[in-house]
Amino acid sequence: MEHKKLNPELVELVQKWKGKEGNLIMILHEIQNHHGYVPRELSLELSKMLDVPLARIYEVITFYNFFKLVPPGKHRIALCMGTACYLRGAAVILEEIKNILGIAEGQTTKDGLFYLDVVRCLGCCGLAPVIMIDDKVYGKVKKNEVADILSKYIKEE
């Protein structure tokens, strides 16, 4: 197979993981880490290069919650739904975020600004309920504070 027409970074990844057990998952992890998701065109190329059916690649991508098929938003909102956060009102905070942004968990806003992720624990139980946007943690969040928190990121644009 002629690899000159294929993505050179993908060729390098395939060579790096060639012959190693679990190579498909490791390659997909590296693609996701680089792009923030697994682009369809790279899945197609990977299928050819590994001689693995495209259906098998999508089977792996869709089985593991980590992998995304669409580009993430510029800002990742991680809302904790661990026990402490849940008991202190995280479900109400989630509904408020969804209402303001018009998206559900695992979705990106139409303008590409926000991606909403629900996580099991952010390790800030004493600050419950907690939202993390990118690397900034917001603790003891109340429903009426959500709009102000999000507006800081909208104003940056």
Question: Do 57 and 98 have their domain in common?
Answer: no
Final residue before a domain boundary, out of 63, 83, 109 = 63
Evaluate whether 75 touches 115 at the Cβ level (below 8 Å): yes
Q: Which tokens is 122 given?
A: 């952010």
Distances (CA, A) of 120 to 13, 20, 112, 123, 131: 31, 31, 24, 9, 12
| pLDDT, tens digit (0-9, with 9 covering 90-100), for 35-65 | 889 999 999 999 999 999 999 999 999 998 7
Q: Which long-range contacts (CB under 8 A, 24 or more apart) does 40-43 make?
A: 40/69, 42/7, 42/10
- What confidence score (pLDDT) does residue 3 get? 44
Question: Do 28 and 89 have their domain in common?
Answer: no
β-bridge partners, 111 = none
Residue-averaged pLDDT of the chain: 91
- The residues, ordered by sequence, that sit 6+ positions from 62 with a Cβ below 8 Å of its Cβ are 69
Residue 2 lies in a domain: no
Neighbours of 27 (CB within 10 A): 23
Beta sheet of 114-119, edge-to-edge order:
114-119, 75-80, 131-133, 136-138
Evaluate whether 68 touches 28 at the Cβ level (below 8 Å): no
Instruction: Please say if the pLDDT value at position 73 is more than 80.
Output: yes
Question: Do 140 and 97 have their domain in common?
Answer: yes
Count of the separate structural domains present in the chain = 2
Final residue before a domain boundary, out of 63, 84, 106 = 63
Evaluate whether 122 touches 132 at the Cβ level (below 8 Å): yes
Question: Do 114 and 94 have their domain in common?
Answer: yes
Residue 143 and residue 103: Cα distance in Å, rounded?
17
Prediction pTM value: 0.70
- What confidence score (pLDDT) does residue 80 get? 96
Q: Which residue has the higher pLDDT, 2 or 141?
A: 141
Question: Do 138 and 81 have their domain in common?
Answer: yes
- What confidence score (pLDDT) does residue 133 get? 97
| pLDDT, tens digit (0-9, with 9 covering 90-100), for 114-145 | 999 999 999 999 999 999 999 999 999 999 99
Range of the domain at 94: 75-156
Instruction: Please say if the pLDDT value at position 2 is more than 50.
Output: no
Question: Do 79 and 15 have their domain in common?
Answer: no
Residue 49 lies in a domain: yes
Residue 3 lies in a domain: no
CATH number of the domain that 83 lies in? Answer: 3.40.30.10
